[in-house]
Amino acid sequence: MPVTSKFTDFSDQCFFIGIDVHKKSWSVTIRALNIELVHFSQAADAYQLSRYVHERFPGGRFFSAYEAGFCGTSHHHALCKAGIKNIIIHPADLPESDKEKKNKTDLHDSRAVAKYLESGVLAGIYIMPLDQQERRSLFRCREATVGNVTRCSNRLRSLLDYYGVKLPENLRDKEYISKYFRDWLRRLKLSTDHGTETLQYYIEDLQYHRSRLLLITRKLKKAIAEHYQESYTCLLSVPGIGPITAMAILAETGDLNRFEEPDEYCSYMGLVPSEQSSGERVYSTHIQPRCNRHLRPLLIEAAWTAIRRCPVLLAYYKKHLGTNNKKAIVKVARKLALIAKAVALKKQLYQADYSYQINR
């Protein structure tokens, strides 16, 4: 392509930029008027890209997109600040032909993003405010710490099983390693000092991660209370929803008003079935794999608790029970999620008639 004259004016001409983002470099494709104008690689720098397009295509209007990934929204904010209207797309929303799937390179990826961005078929994901993203990160940090506590507990029990340590009768069936249990283990001596030291290290690891979990949980509760105190209190009134699930809903979703339709909200939670249809036949299969993986397990667990505490939700569960209790509990979880959304937005405590008012 010939070098653009510095006197050329591209006023109101739209340019579409597809970016394949990596940690150190970007692969960039620029399109306009259904023509691929240029493709190049550059450093991972929004301002460098902005300088390039504004110098080469002065007066143009620039639109860009990249797939959601490791870099979060940092590049998005930098591109917007640099004068390029950017969206972040879900990788699964990018249409791909069979040829594109079999030729997976940075060039092909940026070309595909630019092409479909120009054709108008791409929709950006919701961009949370930065402060909400950081509250969400605190909740996910807590979730990771819960996993660390579980792993430490399992390592400790595995060591006891490996060396055939006989537990006292009052500790044999205890799933939770309590302070009394830990004190007994600290007094335990294995056949060598090395084994005893290993046991003590595992106990210390467990104690450290439990202390850390308690600290993070308190910090998270304080952060949620500062921004969503009324909604948090109302969520706790919903049967089955405890402090952790309430904090998770508020940390992961942020502004609940962004979900205009119940199906959109439930789809985000992953509580709607997949559908396969052909002609007049429509089949509902398993729940969609695409979901917020941090919320769906908590809501399903909350649904099991809710049907034990709320007669209305228990009746709803029995109505849909049939031969598959898993499908029925997902329906209860869906209704529970909608109830939670309603009480959080209205800032009203749960009442039994909510179960009848929410769309089934």
**Residue-by-residue DSSP string for 41-90:** EEES-HHHHHHHHHHHSTT-EEEEEEE--TTTTHHHHHHHHTT-EEEEE-
As a whole number of angstroms, the distance between CA 110 and CA 94 comes to 11
Q: For 41-55, 88-102, 333-347, which range has the lowest pLDDT when averaged over its residues? A: 88-102
More confident residue, 49 or 360: 49
pLDDT at 277: 65
For range 21-40, the mean pLDDT: 96
For range 103-119, the mean pLDDT: 92
Residues forming a β-bridge with 66? 19, 88
pLDDT at 2: 45
User: Is beta strand 25-32 parallel, antiparallel or unpaired with respect to 14-21?
Assistant: antiparallel
pLDDT at 134: 96
pLDDT range class, residue 12, cuts 50, 70, 90: confident
* Nearest in space to 251 (alpha carbons), one of 243, 261, 263: 243
The number of CA neighbours under 13 Å toward the Cβ of 310 is 26
- Domain ranges for the chain, please list them: 14-119, 130-231, 236-271+292-357
Residue showing tokens 């078929």: 121
For range 244-251, the mean pLDDT: 97
| pLDDT value at 205 more than 80 | yes
Whether pTM exceeds 0.85: yes
User: Is beta strand 61-67 parallel, antiparallel or unpaired with respect to 35-43?
Assistant: unpaired
pLDDT range class, residue 357, cuts 50, 70, 90: low
| pLDDT value at 275 more than 60 | yes
Q: Tell me the two tokens of residue 182.
A: 């830990």
pLDDT range class, residue 203, cuts 50, 70, 90: very high
As a whole number of angstroms, the distance between CA 178 and CA 41 comes to 56
| pLDDT value at 296 more than 60 | yes
CATH 3.40.640.10, domain 14-119, yes or no: no
* Nearest in space to 207 (alpha carbons), one of 263, 331, 228, 199: 199
pLDDT at 174: 85
Count of C-beta atoms within a 10 Å radius of residue 243 = 14
| pLDDT value at 57 more than 90 | yes
Q: For 13-17, 174-178, 211-215, 288-292, which range has the lowest pLDDT when averaged over its residues? A: 288-292
| pLDDT value at 359 more than 80 | no
As a whole number of angstroms, the distance between CA 360 and CA 356 comes to 8
Q: What does the mean pLDDT of the chain come to?
A: 91
